[in-house]
């Protein structure tokens, strides 16, 4: 079995060589439709196609461009990953979290994960950002299965503080209107049934989506602080209109400027 942490270290070394930057401080993963938010972070000093780095799979889903951008933002060096790969594309969990592992091994001690999500909780509206305070993992798999680097991370990590409260508090200081919620991670690619959504609500789920949970686990496992922001791009199955990915991209694109400004301001405060 290939050691995924060794491959991630190789990718981190290749990223440093390609960008001319030995160490990045903050990683930002942009979800579906969030790509234009990167304009708020500043001009990239280097851009790399992630498919050219060791271990990275090519992004195939609309709204995910497959680029790594190195940006100087004040005193922070950002690594912006524009797009991600998903388990429903046929990738193993180790491939899904490989970009995040590469980012942490590149020096990033803070990882910001964004996504487009369906709203489950009453009161959430389309176009509303929600801070992820916890998650339910219904993917049926784990990114930590397989070899474990005991010198880097524990075999059995405690995920109680997987989503860093300090970072959520900083975000609320910037925008007191932000609310928090529990994100339900599912494998996809089919949208959920109304019965599943009713069940997720009963079990405490506020949002649902097909990404992010495994990345958060992998980043926390390696000791990084994690902030998650979901943009409600639709109401979940049975609660609104028929679900369509083009609507997800449209709503995310309409909100990307606001989200980019929030993230840029937050990163300045880290």
Whether 64 sits among the annotated catalytic residues: the reply is yes
Known catalytic membership, residue 91: no
Options 32, 70, 94, 115, the catalytic residue: 32
Catalytic residue, chosen from 70, 82, 211, 255, is 211
The CA–CA distances, whole Å, from 216 to 74, 113, 117 equal 25, 8, 16
Q: Is 135 an annotated catalytic residue?
A: no
Contact status, residue 85 vs residue 76, Cβ threshold 8 Å: no
Active-site residue, from 27, 37, 64, 252: 64
Tokens of 213: 């949970």
Known catalytic residue: 211?
A: yes
Catalytic residue among 16, 142, 153, 245: 245
Instruction: Give the end-to-end CA distance of the chain in Å, rounded to a whole number.
Output: 38
Catalytically annotated residue among 11, 27, 73, 89:
89
Shortest CA distance to 121 belongs to which of 251, 236, 267? 236
Catalytic residue of the set 70, 106, 230, 234? 234
Cα–Cα distance for residue pair 249/166, rounded to 1 Å: 30
116 is catalytic: yes
Element (H, E) at 10: helix 4-19
Told to judge if 234 belongs to the known catalytic residues of this protein, a careful annotator would answer: yes
For residue 189, whether the previous peptide bond is cis, meaning omega lies within 30 degrees of 0, is yes
Residues with a known catalytic role:
32, 64, 86, 88-89, 116, 210-211, 234, 245
């Amino acid at each position: 079995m290939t050691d995924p942490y060794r491959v991630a270290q190789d990718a981190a070394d290749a990223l440093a060589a390609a960008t001319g930057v030995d160490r990045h401080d903050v990683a930002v993963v942009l979800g579906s439709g969030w790509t234009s938010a990167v304009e708020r972070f500043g001009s990239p000093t280097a851009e790399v196609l992630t498919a050219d780095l060791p271990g990275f799979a090519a992004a195939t889903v609309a709204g995910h461009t497959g680029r790594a951008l190195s940006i100087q933002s004040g005193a922070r060096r950002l690594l912006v990953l524009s797009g991600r790969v998903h388990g429903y594309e046929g990738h193993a969990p180790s491939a899904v979290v490989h970009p995040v592992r590469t980012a942490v091994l590149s020096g990033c001690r803070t990882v910001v994960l964004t996504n487009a999500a369906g709203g489950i909780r009453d009161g959430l509206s389309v176009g509303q950002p929600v801070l992820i305070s916890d998650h339910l993992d219904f993917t049926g798999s784990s990114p930590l299965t397989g070899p474990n680097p005991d010198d880097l991370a524990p075999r059995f990590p405690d995920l109680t503080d997987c989503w860093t409260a300090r970072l959520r508090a900083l975000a609320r200081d910037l925008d007191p209107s932000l609310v928090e919620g529990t994100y339900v991670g599912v494998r996809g690619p089919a949208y959920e049934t109304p019965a599943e959504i009713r069940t997720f609500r009963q079990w405490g789920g506020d949002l649902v989506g097909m990404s992010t949970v495994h990345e958060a686990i992998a980043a926390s496992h390696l000791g990084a602080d994690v902030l998650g922001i979901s943009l409600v791009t639709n109401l979940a199955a049975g609660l609104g209109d028929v679900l369509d990915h083009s609507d997800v991209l449209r709503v995310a694109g309409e909100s990307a400027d606001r989200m980019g400004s929030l993230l840029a301001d937050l990163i300045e405060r880290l």
